[in-house]
Amino acid sequence: MPVQLTNLQQATLQAVVNRLIPVDEYPNAWDAGVGEYLARHFEGDLKHLVEAYANGLDALEQEAKARYGNGFGELTAPQQDAFLQDVEQGAVVTVWPIAPGKFFRLLVEHTMQGYYGAPLNGGNRDAVSWQMTGFESRR
Protein backbone atom coordinates (compact mmCIF):
# COMPACT_ATOMS: atom_id res chain seq x y z
CA MET A 1 0.00 0.00 0.00
CA PRO A 2 1.08 3.55 -0.57
CA VAL A 3 2.93 4.54 2.59
CA GLN A 4 2.03 8.20 2.11
CA LEU A 5 -1.71 7.68 2.59
CA THR A 6 -3.22 7.25 6.07
CA ASN A 7 -5.31 4.20 6.88
CA LEU A 8 -8.48 6.23 6.59
CA GLN A 9 -7.45 7.64 3.23
CA GLN A 10 -6.68 4.13 2.01
CA ALA A 11 -10.02 2.85 3.21
CA THR A 12 -11.81 5.70 1.45
CA LEU A 13 -9.81 5.07 -1.70
CA GLN A 14 -10.74 1.39 -1.67
CA ALA A 15 -14.42 2.16 -1.16
CA VAL A 16 -14.44 4.74 -3.95
CA VAL A 17 -12.66 2.68 -6.62
CA ASN A 18 -15.01 -0.22 -5.85
CA ARG A 19 -17.91 1.99 -6.95
CA LEU A 20 -16.01 3.08 -10.07
CA ILE A 21 -15.75 -0.61 -11.00
CA PRO A 22 -18.24 -2.56 -8.82
CA VAL A 23 -18.34 -6.31 -8.43
CA ASP A 24 -20.59 -8.49 -10.58
CA GLU A 25 -19.58 -11.92 -11.90
CA TYR A 26 -16.16 -10.30 -12.28
CA PRO A 27 -14.25 -8.73 -9.39
CA ASN A 28 -14.44 -5.12 -8.28
CA ALA A 29 -11.55 -2.73 -8.81
CA TRP A 30 -9.73 -3.47 -5.57
CA ASP A 31 -9.96 -7.25 -5.83
CA ALA A 32 -8.61 -7.04 -9.38
CA GLY A 33 -5.48 -5.26 -8.19
CA VAL A 34 -6.21 -1.56 -8.66
CA GLY A 35 -4.76 -0.92 -5.18
CA GLU A 36 -1.51 -2.60 -6.18
CA TYR A 37 -1.45 -0.64 -9.45
CA LEU A 38 -1.86 2.63 -7.55
CA ALA A 39 0.68 1.69 -4.89
CA ARG A 40 3.32 1.06 -7.56
CA HIS A 41 2.55 4.24 -9.42
CA PHE A 42 2.48 6.36 -6.27
CA GLU A 43 6.14 5.45 -6.02
CA GLY A 44 6.73 6.13 -9.70
CA ASP A 45 4.91 8.05 -12.39
CA LEU A 46 2.14 9.26 -10.04
CA LYS A 47 4.44 10.31 -7.21
CA HIS A 48 3.65 13.94 -7.86
CA LEU A 49 -0.06 13.24 -7.27
CA VAL A 50 0.12 11.50 -3.87
CA GLU A 51 -0.49 14.76 -2.07
CA ALA A 52 -3.44 15.56 -4.34
CA TYR A 53 -4.83 12.11 -3.57
CA ALA A 54 -4.43 12.60 0.19
CA ASN A 55 -6.14 15.98 0.04
CA GLY A 56 -8.86 14.80 -2.30
CA LEU A 57 -9.68 11.73 -0.22
CA ASP A 58 -9.83 13.82 2.97
CA ALA A 59 -12.14 16.30 1.25
CA LEU A 60 -14.32 13.49 -0.06
CA GLU A 61 -14.66 12.03 3.43
CA GLN A 62 -15.44 15.43 4.92
CA GLU A 63 -18.01 16.11 2.18
CA ALA A 64 -19.75 12.78 2.90
CA LYS A 65 -19.90 13.58 6.63
CA ALA A 66 -21.28 17.06 5.95
CA ARG A 67 -24.00 15.69 3.72
CA TYR A 68 -24.89 12.33 5.24
CA GLY A 69 -23.41 12.49 8.72
CA ASN A 70 -21.41 9.39 7.83
CA GLY A 71 -18.08 8.56 6.24
CA PHE A 72 -18.12 7.51 2.57
CA GLY A 73 -17.55 3.86 3.48
CA GLU A 74 -20.68 3.75 5.64
CA LEU A 75 -23.06 4.95 2.90
CA THR A 76 -25.20 2.49 0.95
CA ALA A 77 -24.10 1.70 -2.59
CA PRO A 78 -26.85 3.84 -4.19
CA GLN A 79 -25.92 6.71 -1.84
CA GLN A 80 -22.26 6.33 -2.77
CA ASP A 81 -23.06 6.39 -6.49
CA ALA A 82 -25.29 9.47 -6.20
CA PHE A 83 -22.64 11.17 -4.07
CA LEU A 84 -19.86 10.39 -6.57
CA GLN A 85 -21.96 11.75 -9.42
CA ASP A 86 -22.20 15.03 -7.52
CA VAL A 87 -18.44 15.05 -6.92
CA GLU A 88 -17.89 14.39 -10.62
CA GLN A 89 -20.09 17.41 -11.44
CA GLY A 90 -18.38 19.56 -8.84
CA ALA A 91 -21.65 19.86 -6.87
CA VAL A 92 -20.11 19.95 -3.38
CA VAL A 93 -21.10 21.78 -0.19
CA THR A 94 -17.74 21.90 1.61
CA VAL A 95 -14.50 23.63 0.64
CA TRP A 96 -12.14 21.35 -1.32
CA PRO A 97 -8.39 21.99 -1.59
CA ILE A 98 -8.48 20.42 -5.09
CA ALA A 99 -11.22 20.86 -7.69
CA PRO A 100 -13.55 17.90 -7.03
CA GLY A 101 -14.30 17.23 -10.71
CA LYS A 102 -10.61 17.21 -11.55
CA PHE A 103 -9.76 14.89 -8.66
CA PHE A 104 -12.57 12.56 -9.66
CA ARG A 105 -11.36 12.34 -13.26
CA LEU A 106 -7.90 11.35 -11.99
CA LEU A 107 -9.45 8.65 -9.82
CA VAL A 108 -11.49 7.29 -12.71
CA GLU A 109 -8.61 7.21 -15.17
CA HIS A 110 -6.14 5.62 -12.77
CA THR A 111 -8.70 3.03 -11.72
CA MET A 112 -9.36 2.07 -15.33
CA GLN A 113 -5.62 1.87 -16.01
CA GLY A 114 -5.24 -0.52 -13.10
CA TYR A 115 -8.23 -2.65 -14.05
CA TYR A 116 -7.93 -2.85 -17.85
CA GLY A 117 -4.19 -2.25 -18.36
CA ALA A 118 -1.47 -4.86 -18.67
CA PRO A 119 -0.86 -6.98 -15.52
CA LEU A 120 2.84 -6.08 -15.70
CA ASN A 121 1.89 -2.76 -14.09
CA GLY A 122 0.55 -4.42 -10.97
CA GLY A 123 -3.19 -4.36 -11.66
CA ASN A 124 -5.54 -6.55 -13.71
CA ARG A 125 -4.88 -9.59 -11.51
CA ASP A 126 -4.61 -12.81 -13.53
CA ALA A 127 -5.59 -10.72 -16.57
CA VAL A 128 -9.13 -10.93 -15.29
CA SER A 129 -10.42 -7.93 -17.26
CA TRP A 130 -8.85 -9.28 -20.44
CA GLN A 131 -10.97 -12.38 -20.03
CA MET A 132 -14.02 -10.37 -19.04
CA THR A 133 -13.81 -8.25 -22.19
CA GLY A 134 -12.88 -11.17 -24.44
CA PHE A 135 -9.53 -9.61 -25.41
CA GLU A 136 -8.12 -12.93 -24.31
CA SER A 137 -10.33 -15.98 -24.79
CA ARG A 138 -12.54 -16.61 -21.76
CA ARG A 139 -11.42 -19.52 -19.60
Q: Catalog residues that contact another protein under the rule CB under 8 A.
A: 19-22, 24, 26, 45, 81, 84, 108, 111-113, 116-118, 120-121, 129-130, 132-137
Toward another protein, which CB reaches closer, 6 or 133? 133
Toward another protein, which CB reaches closer, 6 or 81? 81
Q: How far is the CB of 116 from another protein (least distance, A)?
A: 4
118 Cβ contact list (under 8 Å, min separation 6)? 124
CA–CA–CA angle 65, 71, 74 (5° rounding): 130
Q: How far is the CB of 138 from another protein (least distance, A)?
A: 10
Distance between CA atoms of 62 and 22, rounded to whole angstroms? Answer: 23
Toward another protein, which CB reaches closer, 6 or 43? 43
Q: What is the helix, strand, coil percentage profile of the chain, to 5?
A: 65, 0, 35
Distance between CA atoms of 131 and 126, rounded to whole angstroms? Answer: 9
Toward another protein, which CB reaches closer, 41 or 61? 41
Distance between CA atoms of 23 and 26, rounded to whole angstroms? Answer: 6
Q: How far is the CB of 30 from another protein (least distance, A)?
A: 14
The one-letter code for the residue type at 33 is G
Q: How far is the CB of 4 from another protein (least distance, A)?
A: 19
